[in-house]
Chains A and B, each alone.
Chain A
Amino acid sequence: MYTFYSDQKKETPVSSVYRDPFSIRYGYARANETQEADDFGQDFLAFEVKERSLVFAVCDGVSLSFCGDLAARFLSEELLQWLGSRTPEELKDEIIIKEKLTEHLGQLTAKGTEAIRRHRLPGSMPPILREVLEEKRTNGSETMFLCGRIDMADDITHEAHVFLASSGDLRLRLWGHTEEISNPHITSDTKKRWSTKDGIIGGEIQIATGGMLKDTRRIAVYSDGFAAIDGLKTLPSTDQLQILVKKSLQSPLSDDLSFLDIAW
């Protein structure tokens, strides 16, 4: 088994690991201003490889909500657990699994709200900031997410059962044997997210599973902080990716950045 959970107070340079049958590259970096303030990143990245299956979650906490970093961490951990406890068969029926995941995301609000209620704010801060944060606390912590599970089905053809679910503005790229595959099933939408108070808001979750993903052999998921790679037709080497991470962080608009690339 191989597990990675991002440390929201530390950068993880783009790294690679091979766990049969998956080649994985991943990286995590906080926005420049967050590093300078030694604060928590609002993104969270987690994945787990167990036998011949991989589960992952990438969350981008909404900084205008109450401590988006909390929702991002909470939901990533919960999604990983939920995905890990499904069977590949269960994940194949788009309509049923969408219903089940939507229901689960709704049920998580009780636990999420409790986690937010217990969160202690720093002792010293201007009263107006404390008032604003307490007001935000009542509206909950929010995060966007993209999660998935890949179960190897055939070692000769490299066909896998792939399940993906999303809400919000996380970037998803898919490749087949050689070329990038268009993906109409999961699209970015900044209005959609999950809230500890209200569950899914801004519209239904998006699901892609079963036959629609059977030709997929590689998946990349990243947060908008790594928009620098949006225009690249192929993903560069690990070293070059790290250079692009550094460049992204130099921009005045730099944001937290999570990156996950899985090939099989």
Chain B
Amino acid sequence: MDYRLQATQQTPAYIMYLLDISASMNQLMDAGNGQEKRRIDVVTSALNSAIRQMVFRSTKGSRLSPRYKVSILAYSDNVFDVLGGIKSIDELARMKPLDNVQTQRLTNTAKAFSAAEKILLQELDKMKDCPTPLICHMTDGAYTGEDPEPIVQRIMNLSVPDGKVLVENIFISDEILSKPIENSKKWPGIMYETVLEEDYGNKLKRLSSPLPESYREMMIETGYKIEPGALMMLPGTNADLVSLGFQMSAATPVR
């Protein structure tokens, strides 16, 4: 139970992305270099970078060794399976999954986590020798409809021998922190005791797993300064931090 199992072709890591595509994702946000972009565009670009990182970490010779399996669920009023099922990284590398993601209306987060739970319950038995699955949830605002907390708590109690299922939250908001983060490379991360400015941010903090040490080591190797005790929660105040969140999701140890 220490999140040390390495992802290999025979024991791939499973990452599920839950993307909020509500109408508010059309709002503009800081995209760096004085530019602004739509939130949804920042997210798709960060997710593409995470996929690229998975490809980077899966090469063996000139071949792509399928060390990752991925699902992408986009949600608003309803939940859409963007990839049409779980895909291995070599299959995903041949797709352009994020080209046609369109924003919709509401933010039914409970529905999204319900769909995630259903998939996990179907798949978990096949993952006994694999690294712990991870759900990376990205949202930009409070949920509509049912409270997702009980479902997320149930998910966080599911486990494989490597550890309890990991839940990461990327919360895109301009108001979550009292002070902006100047340099994401030097940022220590959100701790249990970090006070957030938004109630929903505090709720998401409760629904975020502690960052496993093996993931933290990988983040340190790539130049970040995340400190022990940090949670898998990112305040998406700018494109850099959104990107860091997606990079974190793919930091499973690999062979």
Instruction: Tell me which residues across on chain B come within 8 A of A121, comparing CB atoms.
Output: 62
Q: Distance in Å from the Cβ of A191 to the closest Cβ of chain B?
A: 10
Supplied contacts A33-B8, A64-B57, A131-B52, 11 more A-B pairs, CB within 8 Å: A39-B63, A63-B255, A64-B59, A126-B93, A128-B55, A128-B93, A129-B93, A136-B59, A252-B8, A252-B10, A255-B255
**Which residues 54-77 of B have a CB within 8 angstroms of A?**
55-57, 59-65
The distance from the CB of B66 to the nearest CB of chain A, in whole angstroms, is: 9
Residues in B whose Cβ lies below 8 Å from that of A129: 55, 59, 64, 93
A42→B59 contact, CB < 8 A: no
A132-B8 CB under 8 A given contacts A39-B61, A63-B60: no
- Chain B residues with CB under 8 Å of A133's CB are 59, 62
> Hey, which chain A residues are within 8 Å of B51, CB to CB?
128
Count of A-B residue pairs with CB < 8 Å: 62
Contacts of A37 in B (CB 8 A): 63
A231 contacts the other chain (CB 8 A): no
Contact assessment for A126 and B59 in the assembled complex, using a CB-CB cutoff below 8 Å: no
Q: Are B8 and A68 in contact (CB under 8 A)?
A: no
> Is B213 in contact with chain A by the CB < 8 A criterion?
no
Interface presence of B94 (CB below 8 A): yes
B8, A253: Cβ atoms closer than 8 Å? yes
- Say if the beta carbon of B240 comes within 8 Å of chain A: no
Compute how far the CA of A64 lies from the CA of B59 in the bound complex, rounded to whole angstroms.
6
Binary interface encoding of chain A residues 12-54 relative to chain B, with 1 for a CB under 8 A from any of its CBs, else 0:
0000000000000000000011100101101000000000000
Which residues of A lie under 8 Å from residue B10 when comparing CB positions? 32-33, 252
Contact check: which of A33, A40, A125 meets B65 at CB < 8 Å? A33
Can you report 17 residue pairs joining A to B where beta carbons are below 8 Å apart? A33-B9, A33-B65, A64-B57, A67-B61, A68-B61, A121-B62, A125-B64, A128-B51, A128-B55, A129-B59, A129-B93, A131-B52, A132-B56, A135-B56, A136-B59, A252-B8, A252-B129
In the bound assembly, the distance between CA atoms of A136 and B55 in angstroms comes to 12
Min CB gap A83→B, angstroms: 27
B8 contact set on A, CB distance < 8 A: 33, 252-253
- Tell yes or no: B252 within 8 A of A by CB: no
Contacting residues, chain A, for B52 (C-beta < 8 A):
128, 131-132
Interface residue? A142 (CB, 8 A): no
Residue of B nearest to A250 (CB): B10
A186 to B9, CA, bound (A): 32
Q: Is the CB of B62 within 8 A of A125?
A: yes
> Does B6 count as interface, using CB distance less than 8 angstroms?
yes
1/0 contact string of A230-257 vs chain B (CB within 8 Å): 0000000000000000000000110100
Q: B211 → chain A, closest Cβ, in Å?
A: 22
A184 within 8 A of B: no
A122 at the interface (CB under 8 A from B): yes
Cross-chain contact B61 with A63 (CB below 8 angstroms): yes
In the assembled complex, B11 has its CB within 8 A of some CB on chain A: yes
Given contacts A252-B129, A255-B255, contact A122 B6 (CB under 8 A): no
